[in-house]
């Protein structure tokens, strides 16, 4: 008798959705191209066939009511959760899975193809605990601190994430290839469970990038390439830019952003 094949990992996506955002009030419920932002995010995640379950994690009764009215699975999380990763961790204590995917609630351009890319490192190697994705950074965004850049080793292991333009083109050769980090993460439960036990690091505080807490603690993050860009919505300008892209997608599904 042939040995049984190992069961595929159970993969759960969590969408942290905090209503009390500071730079753009109530942004997860703001309308974009005729639908609330959170509606775009949830439906895109649900379209990824590798995900066994998708749920919204929020501290808002209004977001819960929206989710229930839309038929979306959601869970209340404590208001004290300091970050999206903390909300994912809270859900992980109640929902069993092998891999947890953090799909941020302000990323309405997220695509199933990006989530597929995100999962590749963890499905390829069992020793990888955390993964994320990056795409080529447009020249206009290299100097933009809201576009986070990432530098990796040859094997895809992240060396550093920064709001600054890294690597620095000292000789101004114009040949440096910059990579833009996208706000998607996948974690094995062991790494996710360690996150809230780690003190915020000085680098994390300086850059305001929570993924640096993993690197400071010696937990590697592997970066998978994707051809699809994204725009996180932090301002009204972002919302309008995303709306224009989504309207173009609706009229031309072959659009790659």
Which 3-state string (H, E, C) describes 129-193? CEEEEEEECCHHHCCCCCCCEEEECCCCEEEEEECCCCCCCCCCCCCCCCEEEEEEEEEEHHHHH
Share of the chain above pLDDT 70, in %: 96
Burial class (CB in 10 A: 0-12, 13-18, 19+), 228: middle
Res 257: pLDDT: 67
More confident residue, 143 or 254: 143
pLDDT digits 0-9 by tens, 2-43: 555 567 899 999 999 988 777 788 899 999 999 999 999 999
Q: What is the pLDDT of residue 158?
A: 98
Token pair recorded at residue 223: 């970066």
Q: What is the mean pLDDT of residues 101-109?
A: 95
* CA dist., res. 220 & res. 141, Å (int): 26
Q: Which residues contact 221 (CB under 8 A, 6 or more apart)?
A: 130, 131, 132, 157, 158, 211, 214, 215
Q: What is the pLDDT of residues 77-98, one digit of tens each?
A: 998 888 889 999 999 999 999 9
Structure-block tokens of residue 58:
């929020």
| 197, pLDDT greater than 80 | yes
Tell me how crowded residue 76 is: count the other CB atoms within 10 A of its CB. Answer: 14
Please list the residues that pair with 36 across neighbouring strands: 31
- Asked whether the beta carbons of 88 and 57 are under 8 A apart, the reply is yes
Q: In the predicted model, is pLDDT for residue 248 greater than 80?
A: yes
Spatial distance between the Cα atoms of 215 and 204, rounded to a whole number of angstroms: 10
Q: Which residues contact 132 (CB under 8 A, 6 or more apart)?
A: 118, 150, 158, 181, 182, 184, 185, 186, 211, 221, 222, 223, 224
pTM for the whole structure: 0.92
Mean pLDDT (the chain, rounded)? 92
Q: The tokens of 241 are what?
A: 């830019």
Return the CATH superfamily for domain 11-251.
Spore Coat Polysaccharide Biosynthesis Protein SpsA; Chain A (3.90.550.10)
Q: Is 187 exposed, middle or buried (0-12, 13-18, 19+ CB in 10 A)?
A: buried
């Amino acid at each position: 008798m042939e040995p049984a094949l190992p069961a595929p990992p159970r993969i759960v996506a969590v969408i942290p959705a905090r209503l009390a955002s500071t730079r753009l009030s109530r942004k997860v419920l703001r309308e974009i191209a005729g639908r609330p932002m959170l509606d775009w995010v949830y439906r895109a995640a649900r379209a990824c066939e590798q995900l066994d379950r998708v749920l919204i994690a929020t501290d808002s009764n209004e977001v819960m009511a929206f989710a229930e009215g839309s038929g979306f699975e959601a869970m209340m999380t404590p208001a004290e959760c300091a970050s999206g990763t903390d909300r994912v961790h809270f859900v992980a204590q109640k929902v069993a899975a092998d891999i947890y995917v953090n799909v941020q609630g302000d990323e309405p351009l997220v695509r199933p193809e990006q989530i597929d890319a995100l999962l590749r490192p963890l499905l390829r190697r069992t020793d990888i605990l955390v993964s994320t994705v990056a795409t080529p950074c447009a020249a206009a965004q290299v100097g933009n601190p809201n576009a986070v850049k990432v530098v990796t080793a040859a094997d895809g292991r992240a060396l550093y994430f920064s709001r600054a333009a890294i690597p620095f083109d000292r000789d101004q050769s114009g040949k440096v290839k910059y990579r833009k980090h996208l706000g998607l993460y996948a974690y094995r439960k062991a790494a996710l469970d360690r996150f809230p036990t780690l003190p915020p690091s000085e680098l994390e505080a300086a850059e305001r990038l929570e993924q640096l807490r993993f690197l400071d603690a010696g937990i590697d993050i592997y970066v998978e390439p994707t051809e699809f860009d994204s725009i996180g919505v932090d301002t009204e300008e972002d919302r309008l830019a995303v709306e224009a892209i989504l309207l173009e997608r609706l009229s031309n599904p072959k659009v790659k952003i």
